């Protein structure tokens, strides 16, 4: 069973733009190593795990379960994936240059700076004067990008 369904699991996972670790986190009792082994055909997954993988990756459950029983080719998962595409909210989101700069700075910030930034953006009062300038690494005009 595992040898036939392994390529389908990998194709469904990559089609959903998930890493092995991200997929494993969505499936109870499954580790990234288990996903890797299943994709290589080294272990067999239960029907419940295959159903959960199908749900997490946006392919039909039948595509994985039938492949596990009948040995379908990898293209079966690709065809069913088109029926239920993964959400593409990140790709649809358009950011201005200022917003991109904020995202970059936020990602590089430590936990305290991130918490403070969220408070500032929510309009909550902060005890430190000029905290936004501190978060941004100095007085930065976000529209122009100049200090």
Which sequence spans correspond to the domains of the chain?
Answer: 2-88, 94-135
Cα separation, 143 vs 71, whole angstroms: 56
Say whether 93 sits in a helix, a strand or coil: coil
Per-residue model confidence (pLDDT) at position 53: 92
What's the average model confidence in pLDDT over 98-109? 82
pTM greater than 0.75: no
State pLDDT tens for residues 35-77. 999 999 899 888 889 899 999 998 888 877 777 676 544 444 4
For the chain, give the number of residues: 147
Q: Burial of 23 by CB count in 10 Å (0-12 exposed, 13-18 middle, 19+ buried)?
A: buried
Residue 142 main-chain phi, psi, to 5 deg = -65, -25
Cα separation, 137 vs 140, whole angstroms: 8
**Residue 85, number of CB atoms within 10 A of its CB:** 10
Cα separation, 24 vs 65, whole angstroms: 18
Question: Chain-wide mean pLDDT for the chain?
Answer: 74
> How confident is residue 124, by pLDDT bands cut at 50, 70 and 90?
confident
State pLDDT tens for residues 67-100. 767 654 444 444 444 444 444 444 566 778 887 7
Cα separation, 26 vs 35, whole angstroms: 11
- Record: fold of 2-88: 434 Repressor (Amino-terminal Domain) (1.10.260)
């Amino acid at each position: 069973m595992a040898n036939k369904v392994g390529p389908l699991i990998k194709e469904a996972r990559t089609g959903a733009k998930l890493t092995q670790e991200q997929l494993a986190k969505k499936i109870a009792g499954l580790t990234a190593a288990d996903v890797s082994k299943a994709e290589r055909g080294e272990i067999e997954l239960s029907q419940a795990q295959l159903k959960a993988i199908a749900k997490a990756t946006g392919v039909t459950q039948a595509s994985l379960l039938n492949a596990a029983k009948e040995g379908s080719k990898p293209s079966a998962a690709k065809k069913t994936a088109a029926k239920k595409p993964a959400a593409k909210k990140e790709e649809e989101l358009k950011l201005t240059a200022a917003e991109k700069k904020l995202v970059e700075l936020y990602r590089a910030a430590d936990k305290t700076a991130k918490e403070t930034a969220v408070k500032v953006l929510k309009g909550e009062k902060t005890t430190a004067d000029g905290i936004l300038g501190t978060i941004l690494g100095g007085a930065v005009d976000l529209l122009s990008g100049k200090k």
